[in-house]
Amino acid sequence: MVNGVITGKTEGPHPYGKKKREILIKLSEYHNIDFNNSYGYGDSFADRFFLNIVGSPVAVNPYKKLKRYAVHKGWIIVYWF
């Protein structure tokens, strides 16, 4: 936001890979979120870190490497086109 106007730009670093998982863990502790009863959605192999901590991981339109990983883990795979 600049001068009260929403710019559409994100602030701070974009969470990626293990960093995304760390941020979610901190948020879950602060807000008392039970990841065992949570869904997570991801499309890239880097999302596996946070998808491994939720009770219901879902690979959405996954890239090839995540698709193989999701099949191995028995995760739900969906295609939204």
Task: Give the model confidence (pLDDT) of 8-57 as tens digits.
Answer: 777 777 788 999 999 999 999 999 999 999 999 999 999 999 999 999 99
What pLDDT was estimated at residue 70?
A: 98
Q: How many CB atoms lie within 10 A of CB 28?
A: 15
As given in the structure block, the two tokens for residue 68 are: 């193989």
| Phi, psi for residue 57 in degrees, rounded to 5 | -80, 140
Residues 6+ apart with CB under 8 A from 46: 16, 17, 20
Q: Is the pLDDT of residue 75 over 80?
A: yes
| Phi, psi for residue 27 in degrees, rounded to 5 | -65, -40
Pick the CATH number of 18-78 from 3.40.50.1000, 1.10.150.20, 3.50.50.60, 3.40.50.2000: 3.40.50.1000
What pLDDT was estimated at residue 4?
A: 81
What pLDDT was estimated at residue 42?
A: 96
Q: How far, in Å, CA of 7 to CA of 54, rounded?
A: 32
